[in-house]
A and B are shown apart, each in its own frame.
Chain A
Amino acid sequence: MSELLLKGVPRRALVLLSVLLAVLLVVPLVANDYLITVLILILYFAYVGQAWNIMMGFAGQLSLGHALYVGLGAYTAAALYVHFGISPWIGLGAAIAVAAAAGAVIGLLAFRFRVAGVYFAILTIAFAEFARIGFDHWRWIGGSAGFFLPVANYTRNDLLFLRGSPTMFYYLTLAMTVLAFVLCHALLRGRVGYYWQAIRESPEAAQALGIDIFRYKMYAVVLSAAMTSLGGVLFAFYYNNLFPEQIFHISRSIEIILGPIIGGIGTLVGPIVGAFLLTALAESLDEAMRAFGIDIPGIKQVFYGVCLLLVVVFLPEGVWPPLSRLLGLHRRDGEG
């Protein structure tokens, strides 16, 4: 297994990845709370970006409604915990089930009725918006007034109920990001990965070669939805408050996909690099605004927008593909 995973990966890439992982593992020993919070944010976006990338980057299905799966995962695990005292470790099973079912319904409807491209993207937005307004009017989970988890004090970490310090959440998010990375790497190497890429490049050709494109597109949607919902569970227990207006909002879906697109769509490292760059950019813009004493609402987002614009205009493949060529890390078959 490990031989299969490691075969053909440049030695230099392995060394760099190991160093990065080692640094990430020891960072909490030296970092302050602020840095930890920022790193959690980066890893969270790297994780959900990776999950989204399975659908778009690997299988070529553009989803603009991934906030749906984050929200469903978050609300499912949080509701089970608050109303029935069920541990999030069991709750995440339910979260996966609910999100996977939602993904399956969307996939089933879209792929059976041949809704594709822009239309598919808008269908995914429609479902997320539908959920947003529905949850807004659902009293049992707080409706538009929000749903709150009892806030823990940080004296000791309760891993069973995920109540604890940012450091605990940091290691959890790191573990999820690493697992997602390894899983995606394995998937890309396997039969499924090649089928997905064939479907992405040309659905007609893939079908002519005998690939059951309906089934493999369904796999991509369901897996992506399930993985994204875990991000939602983490979100719920880390932030302790959920508002339909925020968690299901289209701007959340856009946030999720910015990382992989800026980093390099369809690559394994892209979502991580993208999440890092964008979060670092947002934070340093905050810092810069403070340093210059500028307090105008909206000006930070304008800079952010300009940076996005520059990246899409000048680096159409994203940041990672040219960067990896520069570092001599690319593989001949073009897989990141």
Chain B
Amino acid sequence: MPAEVYLNVAVSGLLTGLVYGLMALGLSVIFGVVRVVNFAHGEMMTIAMYIAVAAFSAYRLDPLVLLVPIAAVLFALGYVMQRGLINPFINRPEHSQFMLLVAIALIMVNGLLIIFGPDAQSVQTRYAFDSFALGPLIVDATKAYAGAAAVVVAAALFAFFRFTLAGKAIRACADNYLGALVVGLDVKRLYALTFGLGAACVGAAGAMMVLLIDVTPPLGPAYTLLAFVIVITGGLGSMAGALLGGVLIGMTEALGGLLFTPSAKSMFAFGLLVLVLLFRPQGILGKSPS
């Protein structure tokens, strides 16, 4: 195969990987602050994808135009979930939290199945078959828009945590829970805010993802797993790590699918995960546990 093919596939994997990264960023933010592993993460993304599909089929609204409203809906969902269900579980053992989120995930998957049925649904935009030529590179327009949107949303989140008071307060909670309580931060509200922001990330990622793949209800668990793989590869709790992990996994999958068979592509992702866990358990950009 000519080198251009590999390059094209690598770029396509990179752009998909940015969307993966944004999805995983949500998981990473939630774990980094609230210390709860969101086992319903992929399911929340499918909810966002179905909102996009429904809006598109009813009003022909482009998912990228609806990115902010969809993220806002998911923010509300995340906020309420944390406030109502997850908060009492903060100090419970891991398996208990896991059970709670598995139950929530089960309800989400099958709720979507009841509402939208089992058939795959997709969004057909006007630019679905457009592409840009950059020298020998041919870049799929949809993927380029999705990847760019992912970078913008991620940058906005970085800026929020870096420059706003609420962002600083959340980082304080993550660094020192007791200290945050002592200085009078409303930790419960900040946790709910964080969970909402994580959910908004995955909501935005869903609005982009619906341009790239068809959506079915059982897609959720597979993407929950993918988000774990990415976050652990990049470093759980590290925001830059989540994006880097997403890009790495996206490219690994794309090139693995090209070199072997596409159906075996996630094997390469899991292979990469096992290697990272063994040789750098804290992830590529993660801080080593003290």
Residues of A within 8 A of B (CB): 56, 62, 64, 109-110, 113-115, 117-119, 121-123, 125-127, 129-130, 133-134, 136-137, 144, 250-251, 254, 257-258, 261-262, 265, 296-302, 304-306, 308-309, 312-313, 316
Instruction: Using CB atoms, name the residue of chain B closest to A306.
Output: B107
Interface size class of B (residues with CB under 8 A): 35 or more
Q: Is the interface of A mostly helix, strand, loop or mixed?
A: helix
- Quick check: A312 and B100 within 8 Å, CB to CB? yes
In the complex, chain B residues whose CB is within 8 Å of the CB of A258:
99
Which of A119, A121, A123, A316 is the one whose CB lies under 8 Å from B96? A316
- Quick check: B102 and A254 within 8 Å, CB to CB? yes
Question: Which of B58-66, B136-144, B149-157, B262-270 participates in binding chain A?
Answer: B262-270
What is the distance, in angstroms, from B256's C-beta to the closest C-beta of chain A? Answer: 11
In the complex, chain B residues whose CB is within 8 Å of the CB of A144:
263
What is the distance, in angstroms, from B117's C-beta to the closest C-beta of chain A? Answer: 8
What is the distance, in angstroms, from A127's C-beta to the closest C-beta of chain B? Answer: 7
**A-B contact count, CB below 8 Å?**
124
Question: Which of B12-20, B185-193, B198-206, B221-229 participates in binding chain A?
Answer: B221-229
A305-B106 contact, Cβ under 8 Å, with A119-B232, A125-B228, A137-B261:
yes
Asked if B179 lies at the interface with its beta carbon under 8 angstroms from chain A, I say no
Question: Which of B1-9, B87-95, B123-131 participates in binding chain A?
Answer: B87-95
The answer for the CA separation of A115 and B278 in the assembled complex, in Å, is 8
Instruction: Using CB atoms, name the residue of chain B closest to A125.
Output: B225
- Quick check: A313 and B88 within 8 Å, CB to CB? yes
Listed from nearest, the 7 A-B pairs whose CB atoms lie closest are A298-B113, A305-B106, A298-B110, A308-B103, A305-B107, A301-B110, A309-B103
Q: Which residue among A127, A298, A304 has the maximum number of chain B CB atoms within 10 Å of its CB?
A: A298
- Quick check: A130 and B274 within 8 Å, CB to CB? yes
- Quick check: B94 and A250 within 8 Å, CB to CB? no
In the complex, chain B residues whose CB is within 8 Å of the CB of A109:
274, 277-278
A and B contact pairs by CB, cutoff 8 A, 5 listed: A119-B277, A297-B114, A298-B114, A301-B110, A309-B100
The answer for the CA separation of A126 and B109 in the assembled complex, in Å, is 22
- Quick check: A302 and B267 within 8 Å, CB to CB? no
The answer for the CA separation of A306 and B104 in the assembled complex, in Å, is 8
A115-B277 contact, Cβ under 8 Å, with A296-B114, A313-B85:
yes
What is the distance, in angstroms, from A76's C-beta to the closest C-beta of chain B? Answer: 21
- Quick check: B100 and A126 within 8 Å, CB to CB? no
CB proximity to A under 8 Å, residues B214-240: 217, 221, 225, 228-229, 232, 236
Instruction: Using CB atoms, name the residue of chain A closest to B283.
Output: A119
The answer for the CA separation of A117 and B31 in the assembled complex, in Å, is 13
The answer for the CA separation of A302 and B43 in the assembled complex, in Å, is 14
Asked if B54 lies at the interface with its beta carbon under 8 angstroms from chain A, I say no
